Amino acid sequence: MSINYFRQLRGQPQAVELLQQAIAKNRIATAYLFVGPVGIGRSLAAKCFSEALLSLNLSPEQQLLVSKRVIQGNHPDLLWVEPSYQHQGQLITAQEAEKLGVKRKAPPQIRIEQIREITRFLNRPPLEASRALVVIEAAQSMTEAAANALLKTLEEPGQATLILMAPSVDTLLATLVSRCQKIPFYRLSEEDLKTVLTEQGQGEILNNTEVLALAQGSPGEAIAVHQQLQTIPLELRQKLQQLPSSILGALDLAKTISQELDTQAQLWLINYLQYYHWNQTRNKPLLEQLEKAHQALLSYVQPRLVWECLLINCVNLMK
């Protein structure tokens, strides 16, 4: 390749080597599974790999044009799919929901309608490149119907390569995993983490040890944690760090959380509390209650009820 498409990707030498060798030996799989935590470069790797595949056998000038179109999101042979919400009869991404001020009741999902869009996209031949590319972020968020529909697509993808992203193979149907070539991604070293944050203009995060500890080697997570901390009132965080001492206080705090924070923020807050209370008390029963609450929110249990149960149980634990 005349262009080093992976030059921006730091801390993932194994993934880069596997993908570069696939291109060099012309052994491109029909489906890949990029496995690893959020925020460590999987999306960037998918973008780099897509640029490389869509640029095969093109002149340097054409390759630069392809890279530009991929970055801008308007290449006709690339379909990028993100988890979505249903809003006023349309599907919108989490970023679009935030811009519109839509309060999110549950985490976004990859829906059956999006898989049908993939099928339509792949039913036509590539317009410019030798193959079509489909990238599916957060594949673990697929509904059951969507996962089953995608399985049929993977059986006969045509002139295409699909890239799925998930935190682990255990979060997907085994039949989906078996049809993909797994590319592992790992948390970054402290040095690479600092380099990435500095390059992205987030150097101030390096001074916040709490944020870095929560990030656990993920630049994306470090940035997200830093931003999320700014959105949760300090008074609310302090109340949860101390935990209520009465049932009435627990109910009142549960009401405040469910009214002021959307579900995604509540999920993040539980992760933060797990880290905080483990460092402060090493209280395993408390951590178990927090994990139960986390799973309940993921299962779409009514948030206020989740927090009421959690905080009442915490009152009993603290007696």
In a domain, 8, yes or no: no
In a domain, 5, yes or no: no
Say whether both 205 and 134 belong to one domain.
no
Which of 153, 184, 215 is the last residue in one of the domains?
A: 184
Place of tokens 């030059």: 7
Rounded Cα distance, 114 and 82, in Å: 9
pLDDT at 1: 45
Rounded Cα distance, 78 and 121, in Å: 9
Say whether both 201 and 243 belong to one domain.
no
- The percent of the chain in helix, strand and coil, each rounded to the nearest 5, is 60, 10, 30
Kind of pairing between the strands at 90-93 and 84-87? antiparallel
Three-class secondary structure of residue 79 per DSSP = strand
Helix axes 42-54, 60-72, angle to 10 degrees: 140
pLDDT at 86: 85
Number of domains in the chain: 3
In a domain, 85, yes or no: yes
pLDDT at 105: 65
The helix or strand, by DSSP H or E, that contains position 90, with its residue range, turns out to be strand 90-93
Token couple for 297: 């929110």
Rounded Cα distance, 104 and 31, in Å: 31
Rounded Cα distance, 220 and 69, in Å: 24
Say whether both 121 and 262 belong to one domain.
no
In a domain, 157, yes or no: yes
Beta bridge partners of 166: 35
Rounded Cα distance, 43 and 12, in Å: 12
Say whether both 226 and 244 belong to one domain.
no
Q: Taking CA 134 as the corner, what is the angle to CA 130 and CA 138, rounded to the nearest 5 degrees?
A: 160
Say whether both 159 and 240 belong to one domain.
no
In a domain, 33, yes or no: yes
In a domain, 79, yes or no: yes
Which of 231, 259, 289 is the last residue in one of the domains?
A: 231
Which of 116, 151, 184 is the last residue in one of the domains?
A: 184
How many Cβ atoms from other residues are within 10 Å of residue 142's Cβ? 27
Three-class secondary structure of residue 155 per DSSP = helix
Rounded Cα distance, 62 and 26, in Å: 20
Say whether both 173 and 201 belong to one domain.
no
Mean pLDDT by 10 residues, the chain (319 residues): 82 96 94 96 96 92 91 94 88 81 78 95 93 96 92 89 96 94 96 93 90 91 89 86 89 92 87 86 88 89 93 83
Say whether both 221 and 241 belong to one domain.
no
Is residue 32 within 8 Å of residue 163, measured between CB atoms?
yes
Say whether both 272 and 284 belong to one domain.
yes
Residue ranges making up the domain that contains 30: 13-184
Q: Looking at residue 95, which CATH number applies to its domain?
A: 3.40.50.300
